[in-house]
């Protein structure tokens, strides 16, 4: 058989399914000729098989992955996209999250800077602080240090607000000790402030066995009287 094309050549957009091709049977005397529509010719030729077909199957809503890359086989990954949520059943690693642009970003639909919260490391070296920042503040609001310390607005960006009680978990254990130097008080707006002497408290130091006395309005120190348990002396 022979397929006779018309000239000039046609593009695919110039051909309609109902267009006909003329076919001549060249091995028979008289070259009997028939016509065939483009649509029927396509059915006769069948599907075009690519040179490197991909095989495999999957489950609805599962993200596809290569289960055999060299063999061109695909299957289910562990990630599920239901259309309303993404489910990841295993640990999710975020690599190279060492700048605000490389970590995790939570974008508020408003699109404004105040609606962008980022989580990332402050550098690639071991021991770098882990930061949680909000775009409007211009810097980190929460920092997790390798030592275990947690910084809240270390650079003075915003305030730490507590609507309920603030409790010291290990209070009274005597693990953390030192010499009291300043007092913490609360002003009329509820802010915790630092005072040198303490308007509502008494500070000071003394010598063992010395009887204390006020050396200032809110400060006590040694008097000239001592009591060692056996003898009272006035120096």
85-129 per-position pLDDT tens digit = 999 999 999 999 998 888 898 888 877 767 788 899 988 888 888
Q: What is the pLDDT of residue 84?
A: 96
Does residue 53 lie within any of the structural domains? no
Tally of domains within the chain = 4
Same domain, 172 and 215: yes
- Domain carrying residue 107: 94-160
Q: Are residues 66 and 98 in the same domain?
A: no
Q: Does 174 lie in the same domain as 149?
A: no
> d(Cα 183, Cα 178) in Å, to the nearest integer?
13
Same domain, 155 and 166: no
Decide which of 108, 132, 160 is a domain's last residue: 160
Please identify, among 160, 187, 207, the residue that sits at the C-terminal boundary of a domain: 160
235 and 178 belong to one structural domain: yes
Asked if residue 51 is part of any domain, the answer here is no
Q: What pLDDT is attached to residue 80?
A: 96
| Cα–Cα distance list, 232 to 11, 130, 198, 221, 235 (Å) | 119, 59, 32, 18, 10
pLDDT of residue 81: 97
Do 155 and 167 lie in one domain? The reply is: no
Helix (H) or strand (E) holding 132: strand 130-134
Q: What is the pTM of this model?
A: 0.53
Per-position pLDDT tens, the chain of length 235: 555 555 677 777 888 888 888 888 888 888 888 888 888 888 887 777 778 888 999 999 999 999 999 999 999 999 999 999 999 999 999 999 998 888 898 888 877 767 788 899 988 888 888 988 887 666 668 888 988 888 887 776 677 788 888 887 777 777 777 777 788 888 888 888 888 754 556 778 899 999 999 998 878 999 999 999 899 999 8
Query: How many Å apart are CA 204 and CA 151, to the nearest integer?
Result: 30
pLDDT of residue 14: 82
pLDDT of residue 2: 56
Residue 42: the pLDDT is 80
Quick check: 204 and 219 in contact, CB under 8 A? Answer: yes
Q: Looking at the structure, tell me whether residues 210 and 235 fall in a common domain.
A: yes
Using only C-alpha atoms, what is the Rg of the chain? 41
């Amino acid at each position: 058989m022979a397929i006779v094309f018309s000239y000039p050549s046609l593009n695919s957009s110039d051909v309609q399914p109902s267009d006909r091709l003329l076919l001549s049977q060249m091995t028979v005397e008289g070259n009997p000729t028939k016509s065939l529509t483009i649509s029927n010719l396509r059915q006769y030729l069948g599907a075009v098989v690519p040179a490197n077909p991909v095989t495999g199957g999957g489950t609805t809503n599962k993200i596809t992955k290569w289960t055999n890359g060299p063999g061109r086989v695909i299957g289910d990954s562990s990630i599920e996209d239901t259309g309303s949520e993404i489910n990841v059943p295993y640990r999710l690693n975020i690599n190279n999250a060492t700048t605000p642009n490389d970590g995790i970003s939570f974008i508020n639909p408003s699109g404004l800077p105040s609606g962008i919260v980022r989580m990332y490391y402050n550098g690639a070296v071991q021991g770098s602080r882990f930061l949680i920042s909000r775009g409007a503040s211009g810097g980190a609001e929460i920092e997790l240090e390798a030592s275990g310390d947690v910084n809240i607005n270390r650079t003075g960006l915003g305030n730490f607000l507590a609507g309920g009680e603030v409790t010291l978990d290990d209070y009274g254990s005597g693990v953390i000790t030192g010499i009291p130097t300043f007092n913490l008080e609360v002003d009329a707006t509820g802010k915790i402030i630092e005072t040198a002497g303490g308007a509502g408290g008494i500070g000071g130091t003394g010598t063992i066995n010395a009887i204390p006395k006020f050396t200032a309005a809110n400060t006590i120190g040694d008097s000239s009287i001592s009591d060692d348990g056996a003898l009272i002396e006035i120096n």
